[in-house]
Amino acid sequence: MSVLWRLAWGTAGEETRQEMVQLAREGEALLRALGAPAPAPSALTLSASSDGQLVSDWVDSYDGEAAANNGMPVSVLWAGQHWADPRSDAVVMRLSQGNPPAWETLVQRASTLYPPAGANRNNVLGSLDWWASRGPQLQRGNEPQQAADRYARAWWAEQLSRWNATPIGATPPGATPPTPQRDGDGGGGLMWLVGGIVAVWALGRRRR
C-alpha cells in the first residue's frame, strides 16, 4: 500500500498534504498510547514538503507496528484523502461489512471499558474523542469521506471489542478476591508455634 500512498502524496495539494501529516501524527500518537513503539521514521519528521520516499518509508514502518499492535492502519487513517481508494485493502474490506456504531455510542462504550495491559487508557480515550469530533465533518463530505468515517467507526468498534470490563488485575464486581497465599507449603504457621513453645520454655527456666 505504500506505493499507492506515495502516488497519492505526489499528486496531492498543499492542504491535503497538511491534513495527511496531521492524521499521521494522530495515528502515531494512538499507536503509542496502545503501548507500541513509535515507528522510524516518526510522523514528526513529516511535513507538507516531505518527499515521497520519506512518506513511503513512514507508511511501511507505521503499518508494520500497527499490524503487530492492533493500531489503526494507514488504509483507515488516510481513507478519504485525495484520489486514493483503499477499498482493495484487506482490513478495509473487513471493516466495510455491516453498519458500525455511531461515535456517541463508541465514546459511551469506551468510558466503561479498560484497554489491554500496556495501553494508556486516558490517551487512547483522548484519541477516540478526537476522531469522534472529526466524524461530523466527514459525514457531511463526499462519498469517499463518508466511507472513511465508516471505516474509522468500524475500526474503533473492533478495537473496543478487545477491551475489558474491569482494569487488568482488578477483581470483577461480585467476585471473591483471591485469598493471599503464604510462601512455602504452610510451614510458616508451624514456625510460629515452635517459636511460642520455645518462648514459654525459656520463661519457665527463668522463674526457677
- pLDDT tens-digit profile of 81-124? 766 666 667 777 788 787 899 999 999 999 999 999 999 999 99
Whether 189 is covered by a domain: the verdict is: no
Q: Which residue range(s) make up the domain with 40?
A: 2-160
119-124 LR contacts (CB < 8 Å, sep 24+) = 119/33, 119/34, 119/35, 120/33, 120/35, 123/29, 123/30, 123/32, 123/33, 124/30, 124/33, 124/34
Tell whether 56 is covered by a domain.
yes
Q: Is residue 181 part of a domain?
A: no
Confidence of residue 169 (pLDDT cuts 50, 70, 90): low
Please write the tens of the pLDDT for every residue from 5-16: 888 899 899 999
Question: Is residue 196, in this structure, part of any structural domain at all?
Answer: no
Residue 124 lies in a domain: yes
pLDDT recorded at residue 138: 93
pTM: 0.78
Domain membership of residue 195 (yes or no) is no
Tell me the HSE value of 10 on the side-chain side, using a 13 A CA sphere.
Answer: 10
Please state the domain count of the chain. 1
For 187, the grid coordinates are 510451614
CA pair distance 120, 98, nearest whole angstrom? 29
In-domain check, residue 180? no
Listed residue (174, 148, 135) closest to 89, CA to CA: 148
Does 84 reside within a domain? yes
Give the mean pLDDT of 69-90. Answer: 80
With both helix axes pointing from N to C terminus, report the angle between 121-139 and 103-110 in degrees, rounded to the nearest 10: 170
Least confident of 17-21, 40-44, 84-88: 84-88
For residues 131-160, give the mean pLDDT. 94
Write down the pLDDT at residue 192: 44
User: Phi first, then psi: what are they for 106, rounded to 5°?
Assistant: -65, -45
